[in-house]
Structures are given as structure tokens and as C-alpha cells.
Amino acid sequence: MKRVRLFDKTFRTFIPYEDIEKAIDAVADKVNADFDGCTDIPVLLCVLNGSILFTAELMKRLTFNCEIVSTKLSSYCGTESTGQVRQVMGLTADISGRRVIVIEDIVDSGNTILELKKILAEKGAAETYICTMLLKPDACRKDLHLDYVAMEIPNDFIVGFGLDYNEIGRNLKDIYILDEDKG
């Protein structure tokens, strides 16, 4: 088992890249089935910074025309959610009248998704779909409908494959879990 040190914390391998790829393949198949033959051009909304890698991998597998747009929201400080979602960067394109597929790295509390759905409704999105790489069902206390979930995981702090600890660790190919024994 591989371990990495990020600042004051040690993490151990939790989900190897090969398993991440299989999960992305499966979720891409579902998205492709739902959007097969669409004549509009749906928008993939990459929620920065965490979902960059997931968005890139998912996009490569999609078989319909789509446009990519970005936004950035934040609710974390260190290893804890602050419970407050703030928009750090607005949408990079007009989405009014468009179908939007939100691409998230992880859904835990559900606060970010609820805030994002509100923003997209205000900006005139025709329909909104939520696609997340990871879901922490034990942490989600909101009434949310998620259209596409690649993997469900326990309510533990993780890094890698786009997820960070104080902005580092996003570049790790595998997903790592906090190793409580190592601090």
C-alpha cells in the first residue's frame, strides 16, 4: 500500500486508478445512452478545481457533441466543509436555454450542488443534470437528485485525482484516504 505525505497529513491508497477508469467508463455509458442522438449541444459544466481530471476523462468517452464551461465554488477549509458555499468564479459562458450537465468531483454535504442548481436556474438553464465521480451518501443530508454517480464511498477525507488537501494532492493518479495511524 502506497502512502503519500501532504503537509502535516499522511494518506494511503484507497481507490487505484484502474478502478477509477472502470467507474468513469460505466458512468460515461449511462450519459451516452441518455444523450444519444441529441440534436442540441449540451454544456458540460466543470466545477473547478476538483473536477478537472474527471471532466477530462469523461469528455474523452462521450459520443455526442458538447461544449465545456467552467465555474468555481468553494466550501472547504483544510479537511472540513465550512458549510458555506461561495462562488469564486462565475460561469465562463452563457447557458440560458441550454441543457447543462454539472460535472462534480465529489458530493458530500450537498450544499455545493444545491447552490449550483440555484445559480443555473437563475442563469436560465433549460435542464440541469448532476454527474459526480464520488458520492458520500452518509454525509449527504440534503434532498438531492443525482443523475449520474460513478462511485459511492464512506464519509472519509480523501485526496487525489483532482481532490486536494489545502490545494495539493490533486495531481495524484490514485485516490488516497487519510491514514489515521500516521497523522
Residues classed as catalytic = 108
The grid coordinates of residue 176 equal 488516497
The grid coordinates of residue 175 equal 485516490
The grid coordinates of residue 138 equal 452518509
| DSSP of 61-93 | H--S--EEEEEEEEEEETTEEEEEEEEEE--SS
The torsion angles phi and psi of 56, rounded to 5 degrees, stand at -60, -45
Q: Which residues of 18-42 are buried (b: 16+ CB within 10 A; e: fewer)?
A: eebeebbeebbeebeeebeeeeeeb
CB 104 within 8 A of CB 112: yes
The grid coordinates of residue 23 equal 467507474
